[in-house]
């Protein structure tokens, strides 16, 4: 199926490179998934899978603000996730330009990695797609085939927004599963990745008191979710293991989420999206740092 007409001309050049059109423009499907707070539950697992790529793990350990500015790093990530689904074309360009400006500085002098490598960014986008879909379906049930296919096409925007040519996004969900299995089998977790992974799972330093308190309340449950979502080979290499306790707790947490979460008011379920879109627009309007 050819991609629909986009508001951006294919391969139109921006300050930091081309703006690629996704396979499908963001529509009700991706917006339904992204609006839910619960869809973000797999975020830490996605990050661990990203840094399990040896090049990404090395780049993050040497250049990332995970440990020095964790709140800012998380905010920028959420800005990217939300604006690509809910933002205007201008807002999407603003956040992608900011992302690429940051990536332009992330290069190894010896050529070991470069943040704008499309193969690396494709893997990042793949983990985003995987984590959001898995987390959403855990609560709302599996998407039917037509909806899942449409979601897959719309989620290609997370790859093209990272300057991945649309033809690199696997053509359908079957092709994606083959790509996913191949990539998982080839991941090698380095010591640098393990160090960053520990900071992701046990954030503590450089947190404002409110964020520190929040992580103390939720961190244990987040680690359980991360443990049970990760492929067995990956979690074992990171030194986190599924046990009878973590499996039972994950089952119990999932049961509670499926029972209670959908009954919550939309203002609560969509708080993350609403807050970050307001914050992003305020920062763009006032020229504040993202």
Tell me the domain boundaries of the chain. Answer: 12-286
User: Is 70 exceeded by the pLDDT of residue 16?
Assistant: no
Q: Are 290 and 78 in contact (CB under 8 A)?
A: no
Q: Which helix (H) or strand (E) holds 221?
A: helix 209-229
What b/e string do you get for 248-275 counting C-beta neighbours within 10 Å, with b at 16 or more?
ebbeebeeebeeebeeeeeeebbebbee
pLDDT digit string, tens, across residues 169-178: 999 999 999 9
CA 169-172-176 angle, to 5 degrees, is 65
* Mean local confidence (pLDDT), 69-91: 92
Nearest alpha carbon to residue 80 among 102, 60, 63: 102
User: Is 80 exceeded by the pLDDT of residue 22?
Assistant: yes
Distance of alpha carbon 36 from alpha carbon 18, whole angstroms: 30
Q: What is the pLDDT of residue 243?
A: 98
Identify the weakest region by mean pLDDT among 108-122, 232-246, 261-275. Answer: 108-122
Q: Are 197 and 51 in contact (CB under 8 A)?
A: yes
pLDDT digit string, tens, across residues 30-55: 999 999 999 999 999 999 999 999 99
- Per the model's pLDDT, the better-predicted residue between 143 and 103 turns out to be 143
């Amino acid at each position: 199926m050819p991609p629909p007409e986009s508001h951006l001309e294919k391969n139109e050049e921006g300050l930091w490179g081309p703006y690629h059109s996704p396979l499908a423009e963001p529509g009700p499907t991706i917006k339904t998934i992204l609006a839910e707070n619960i869809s973000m539950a797999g975020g830490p697992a996605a990050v661990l899978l990203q840094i399990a790529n040896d090049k990404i793990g090395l780049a993050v350990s040497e250049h990332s603000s995970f440990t020095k500015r964790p709140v800012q790093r998380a905010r920028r990530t959420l800005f990217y996730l939300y604006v690509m689904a809910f933002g205007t074309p201008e807002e999407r360009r603003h956040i992608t330009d900011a992302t690429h400006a940051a990536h332009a500085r992330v290069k190894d002098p010896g050529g070991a990695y470069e943040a704008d490598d499309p193969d690396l960014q494709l893997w990042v986008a793949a983990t985003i797609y995987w984590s959001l879909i898995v987390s959403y379906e855990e609560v709302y049930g599996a998407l039917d085939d037509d909806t899942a296919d449409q979601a897959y096409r719309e989620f290609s925007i997370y790859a093209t927004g990272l300057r991945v040519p649309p033809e690199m996004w696997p053509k359908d969900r079957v092709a994606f599963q083959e790509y996913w299995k191949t990539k998982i089998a080839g991941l090698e977790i380095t010591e640098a990745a393990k160090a960053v992974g520990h900071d992701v799972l046990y954030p503590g330093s450089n947190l404002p008191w409110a964020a520190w308190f929040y992580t103390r309340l939720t961190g244990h449950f987040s680690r359980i979710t991360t443990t049970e979502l990760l492929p067995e080979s990956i979690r074992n290499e990171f030194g986190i293991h599924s046990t009878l306790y973590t499996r039972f707790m994950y089952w119990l947490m999932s049961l509670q989420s499926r029972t209670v979460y959908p009954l919550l008011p939309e203002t609560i379920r969509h708080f993350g999206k609403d807050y970050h879109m307001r914050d992003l627009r305020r920062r763009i309007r006032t020229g504040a740092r993202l």
